Structure 1
């Protein structure tokens, strides 16, 4: 049964549970709602929650767990000969799912008038799937076709079992809620406790998501370091991956990538932080309301421009301009792709991140602090330097950190503006690359997720995460130490 149908049935049961529970509660006190412990709506909400929440939880867990268990079951039945040389179980399982999806969409059984694909040959099914737009990573074999049929049949059976279980839980919850809907039942307490749990769950999503991201990268990084030396990864000065033979000829040193990342981000921050901070100070302290109402939205437009557009701007305009005006006359290089190109364009992109947040923080400084400083004889510029900026420093540091994190994680501007060369060089007019660019390149195409050349992407990502976390901790320490002078 399709999931959408299950959700519609659950919605109908929730509505029924709401109105029947509410009516039963009122009926239990002979229609006098004043004798109820809670307002009638709480009895209805309790009925809907009792019917829907357990069923929806079961549905969510089932939808998450079923694909993993089904994949493992099908893979365990596949013979070793079903995995071609140079392929992996994951790639073969992807083909099994594609064939099964083609079956479900009707490419095969609509033409042959049957749902039994076991009698069809692989050539006929392959042609039908191709006609339906389903592309396979490897030629369709009899083993893959048989596994796809088993996969499709198991998925159909499990979907009906899931529907029966979920709807059954909803019916049990509905009956239980209706039975409990009596005048003395503390429905309001139950509903408010349920809402509290829902709010706690919502607040935990960010924490659990961060934990899941870290653990997913950590486990794959551990697999990488089982195949590749961590000393070579962190201290080797060469980045030269080779996909010819599971890492035997690869040199995967992160230092050139880290250098390119920090170099480009440093130039971007040199551009973005002064311009953004000065713009924020002017807009909040000097500009009139009319000019501010025009200038601030125009600055924030920069944040809405897609990064690919910035990349094209760097490739077509900024890169050739820097090459012709500075790099070539000074003998520093002849390439339009350079660290300076990517850094300048990225700095322009980061200006609204710094200016908009800093402007909001500066405006949040109490007016009494300005009035007190001016009343003691300080000029407006002295008030800004000695009172407003120190008071707004935590927010300004947060804006700078946000810009730094955005710069470290940028990809498209670097690809088009700085190139893809991994090197250690001080010349800002040479092409370099960043960690994020190499993460994308290592995971592009039909890659073997068991090889170090692919697993290194997770090690790169975890390293970036640790660096960003360290910067945040250091900034928090500095801000707290500085704020102690004002407490």
Structure 2
């Protein structure tokens, strides 16, 4: 029996059971109320109470069975597991229905259930984060047992040729020793990200100011959806745009000035990446600026400031925590971008200040290290986890700095944001 059939049987039995639970719970509460007995909660809340606590044991038994099967335990056939789960739900339904009366605190119990679900979701997200970090750390430790940690962080050359040949069974060939200096890779990452933010932050922030402070409601309703369309375009389309349109334009422009430029350049990738990030910064900043209370603006205008001065000295400082968060989200998007870099900036680790030369980023090298026929325990493959670990630390540092800045702005402008 296929997995899809088992899922259909499970949810095909669970849905009617929950529907019956809601109808029975609500009906019993309505009958008790019709007798003139004072009820703690509304009939609908009793229906949801019976529904939620009927489905809970079904889901729990199903999840336990799935985890046991993942760890290799096949003692209970799938159909028997489904029957056991639905049977537990039926027993729970009978118990709840028979014990329910006017004193049952259905509303409070439903709230406790929802609170528990939210806490579970938070716990799962935290555990997932720690799981990702632990897996990266352990594999990175295996890499640093083979390669020098100091050379990885401060080495100026990334040349894993011998590691590639060794993984391909050609380690006897005369090649230079593998070099895993990550400085050119991270330099390219930060360089392209900086170019992207130089494009995205001014345009995105000015667009948000226009939409929130100057545009009419009709214009805002037309411009903002059109702006947000950019956020839904796949990154591979941006990559084609960078390679086919932006790169030739940049080459032609700089050659007309007598400057040699490459078709694969950090400038082209950064510009297109910035265009991709504009709607993120513009949309979030617009929402934050619009949320500044109107009486704050009115107070500034009453004191003699014009609209531009009000925006500069009152509105933007009050909205600065949200603007910083929007910019941080854009930085994270730029740091994690891969496709645009591959198609517009190239694959070569190049330590250079010239934005017209080809460069690469951490995420590109991570993908390049994990593809192909390399053994998982080769230095070239494990280098991806080392790069990921350093990128994780860099992102964490950026987050900590941004949180500090956001809190400082909150303390400084908390009165004006009331």
Aligned residues: 401
> Which of 403, 406, 410 is the aligned partner of 2:337?
410
CA–CA separation in structure 2 for the residues paired with 1:449 and 1:161: 39
1:373 aligns with 2:300: yes
Root-mean-square deviation (CA, aligned residues, Å) is: 3.0
1:221 to 136, 140, 150: 140
Tell me whether 1:475 sits opposite 2:394 in the alignment.
no
Which residue does the alignment assign to 1:239?
158
Tell me the alpha carbon deviations over residues 177-197 of structure 1, each in whole angstroms, 9 at most, x when there is no partner: 344335554444433322332
CA contact (8 A) 1:238 1:256 kept: yes
Q: Output the CA distance in 2 between the equivalents of 1:476 and 1:8.
A: 47
CA distance in 1, matches of 2:381, 2:333: 24
Indicate how the Cα distance of structure 1 residues 432 and 61 shifts in structure 2: closer, same or farther if over 3 A, else same: farther
1:312-337 per-residue CA deviation (whole Å, 9 max, x = no partner) reads 0110111112122215854444x200
Is 1:433 matched with 2:360? Answer: yes
5+ residue gaps, structure 1 = 74-153
Q: Corresponding residue for 2:129? A: 210
Alignment of 1:92-241 (within 5 A): 158-182=77-101, 184-241=103-160
Counterpart of 1:245 in 2: which secondary structure? helix
Q: Is the 8 A contact 1:350 1:403 kept in 2?
A: yes
Q: TM-score, normalised by structure 2?
A: 0.85
Work out the CA distance in 2 between the residues paired with 1:449 and 1:165. Answer: 41
1:7 lines up with 2:3 in the alignment: no
TM superposition shift of 1:357? 1.8
How big is each residue's C-alpha offset from its partner over 1:4-32, in whole Å with a ceiling of 9 and x where there is no partner?
212222333334444456667778x6973
Q: Write out per-residue CA displacement over residues 340-383 of structure 1, whole angstroms, 9 at most, x where no aligned residue.
A: 11011111111222222222222222222222222222232222
C-alpha contact 2:185 2:360 (8 A) present in aligned 1: yes
Matches within 5 A, 1:307-318: 307-318=235-246
Q: Specify the structure having the higher radius of gyration (Cα).
A: 1
Structure 1 pair 166/251, CA: closer, same or farther in 2 (3 Å)? farther
Partner of 1:51: 54
Q: Which residue of 2 aligns with 1:113?
A: none
Q: Aligned partners of 1:185, 1:466: CA distance in 2, in Å?
A: 50
Shift of 1:421: 0.5
Which residues of 2 match residues 365-404 of structure 1 at below 5 A?
365-404=292-331
Unaligned runs of 5+ in 2: 172-176
Q: Distance in 2 between matches of 1:306 and 1:207?
A: 29
CA 1:389/1:190 → structure 2, altered by over 3 Å: closer, same or farther?
closer
User: Residue 422 of structure 1 aligns to a residue in which SS?
Assistant: coil
CA contact (8 A) 2:30 2:43 kept: yes
Larger deviation: 358-367 or 16-25?
16-25
- Between stretches 321-330 and 180-189, larger displacement belongs to 180-189
What is aligned with 2:225? 297
Q: TM-score, normalised by structure 1?
A: 0.74
1-structure distance, mates of 2:275, 2:214: 23
The equivalent residue for 1:306 is 234
Residues in 2 aligned to 1:318 and 1:214: alpha-carbon distance in whole angstroms? 37
Distance in structure 2 (CA, Å) of the matches to 1:39 and 1:379 = 54
Helix, strand or coil at the partner of 2:37: helix
